[in-house]
Structure 1
Amino acid sequence: MEEQDNYFEFSSYELSYDRQIIKFHYKLGIKDKEPLEFIETITLPVPIADSIPKVLINSLLQNLHLMLGISYWKIFCQKNIRISSYSLTKEQAEFWNTVYTKGLGEFFYRNEINFKGLVNFPYSENANAVSINFERQNRSLVGLGGGKDSLVTIELLKEKYKRITAFILETQRPYPLIQGLINNIGIDSLTIKRQLDPQLFEANKMGGAYNGHVPISAIYAFVGLLAAVVYDYRYVIVSNEKSANIGNVEYFGQIINHQWSKSEEFERLFQNYTKQFVTPNVYYFSLIRPLSEMKVTEIFSKYDKYFKIFSSCNNNFRVGITLGLSVHQKWCGSCPKCAFVFSMMAAFLPKTKLVEIFGRNLFADQSLMNMYKDLLGIGDIKPFECVGTFEESKAAFYKAYLNKEYEKDAVMQMFEKEVLPNINNPDELIKKVLSTGNSSMIPEEFK
Structure 2
Amino acid sequence: MPTSDTTLLLADVTIAKNAVEARYRIADLSFATAIWYDSVDFDDLRARFGDSFVERLGFHVAAFEMNKVASLKPARIDWGDYSHFADADFNRLWASVFENVWAQWRYENRITDYRVPALPEPAAPTAAPVTRDLPDDRYLAFCGGGKDSLLTLTLLGDLNVRYDSLGYSASFYGTAPEQHALIDRLLDHGTPARRHKQWVSDQFLDVPVTELRPDFGVDYITAAETPSSIFAALPIVLAHGHRYICLAHERSADTGQVEWNGEDINHQWGKSFAAEALLNSYIRDHLIADFDYFSILKPVYDVVIFAALTGAEDAVPDTHSCNVAKPWCLSCPKCLYVWLGYAAFLDRETMIATFGDVNLLDRDDNIFTYRQLVGLEDQLPFECIGQAREAALFMRLAERRGWSGRVLEACRDALDALDLDAVARDYTALDFDRPNIPASIREGLKALFERSAAIARERIAVLSGSETPAPESGGVYEPVHARR
Instruction: Note whether the superposition's TM-score is higher than 0.5.
Output: yes
Residue identity matched to 2:77: I
Q: Does 1:160 align with 2:153?
A: no
What SS class does the counterpart of residue 304 from structure 1 fall into? coil
Q: Deviations over 1:94-120 (max 9, x none)?
A: 111111121122222212223644333
Residue identity matched to 2:49: I
Shift of the alpha carbon at 1:3? 5.1
Q: Among residues 409, 412, 428, which one is paired with 1:434 in the alignment?
A: 428
Q: Among residues 319, 323, 330, which one is paired with 1:314 in the alignment?
A: 323
Residue of structure 1 in register with 2:340 after alignment: 343
| Structure 1: segments with no counterpart, 5+ residues | 318-329
Residue of structure 1 in register with 2:297 after alignment: 288
Q: Among residues 35, 56, 63, which one is paired with 2:53 in the alignment?
A: 56
Residue identity matched to 1:208: D
Shift of the alpha carbon at 1:304? 1.3
What SS class does the counterpart of residue 418 from structure 1 fall into? helix
Residue identity matched to 2:252: S
Q: Does 1:140 align with 2:139?
A: yes
What SS class does the counterpart of residue 285 from structure 1 fall into? strand
Matches within 5 A, 1:355-374: 355-359=352-356, 360-374=358-372
Matches within 5 A, 1:103-114: 103-114=101-112
**Cα gap change, 1:115 to 1:439, in 2 (>3 Å):** farther
Q: Does 1:179 align with 2:184?
A: yes
Residue of structure 2 in register with 1:327 after alignment: none
**Cα gap change, 1:272 to 1:364, in 2 (>3 Å):** same
Q: Does 1:207 align with 2:214?
A: yes
Shift of the alpha carbon at 1:125? 5.6
**Cα gap change, 1:179 to 1:125, in 2 (>3 Å):** closer
Q: Deviations over 1:306-352 (max 9, x none)?
A: 122211222345xxxxxxxxxxxx32211111111122122212345
Q: Does 1:409 align with 2:402?
A: no
Conserved? CA contact 2:300–2:429, under 8 Å: yes
Deviates more, 1:297-306 or 1:129-138: 129-138
Shift of the alpha carbon at 1:129? 4.6
Using the alignment, how far apart are the partners of 1:207 and 1:394 within structure 2? Answer: 39
Q: Deviations over 1:362-384 (max 9, x none)?
A: 11222211111111111121001
**Cα gap change, 1:199 to 1:106, in 2 (>3 Å):** closer
**Cα gap change, 1:7 to 1:431, in 2 (>3 Å):** same
Deviates more, 1:78-87 or 1:209-218: 209-218
What SS class does the counterpart of residue 346 from structure 2 fall into? coil
Shift of the alpha carbon at 1:145? 0.5
Q: Deviations over 1:195-221 (max 9, x none)?
A: 123796275522324442312112211
Residue of structure 2 in register with 1:421 after alignment: 416
Matches within 5 A, 1:373-388: 373-388=371-386
Residue identity matched to 1:45: D
Matches within 5 A, 1:28-43: 28=26, 30=27, 35-43=28-36
Deviates more, 1:359-368 or 1:194-203: 194-203
Residue of structure 1 in register with 2:457 after alignment: none
Shift of the alpha carbon at 1:276? 1.5
Q: Does 1:11 align with 2:11?
A: yes
| Structure 2: segments with no counterpart, 5+ residues | 443-484
Q: Among residues 271, 286, 289, which one is paired with 1:262 in the alignment?
A: 271
What SS class does the counterpart of residue 9 from structure 1 fall into? strand
Question: Percent identical across equivalent pairs?
Answer: 21
Shift of the alpha carbon at 1:161? 3.1
Shift of the alpha carbon at 1:439? 4.8
Conserved? CA contact 2:149–2:248, under 8 Å: yes
Residue of structure 1 in register with 2:477 after alignment: none
Conserved? CA contact 1:259–1:386, under 8 Å: yes
Deviates more, 1:371-380 or 1:126-135: 126-135
Residue identity matched to 1:437: D
Structure with greater proportional helix content: 2
Conserved? CA contact 2:68–2:221, under 8 Å: no
What SS class does the counterpart of residue 315 from structure 1 fall into? coil
Residue of structure 2 in register with 1:326 after alignment: none
Q: Deviations over 1:63-96 (max 9, x none)?
A: 111101123232x221121112233222221111
Residue identity matched to 2:245: V
Using the alignment, how far apart are the partners of 1:309 and 1:200 within structure 2? Answer: 27
**Cα gap change, 1:289 to 1:400, in 2 (>3 Å):** same
Using the alignment, how far apart are the partners of 1:367 and 1:195 within structure 2? Answer: 33
Residue of structure 2 in register with 1:217 after alignment: 226
Using the alignment, how far apart are the partners of 1:199 and 1:299 within structure 2? Answer: 35
Deviates more, 1:249-258 or 1:259-268: 249-258
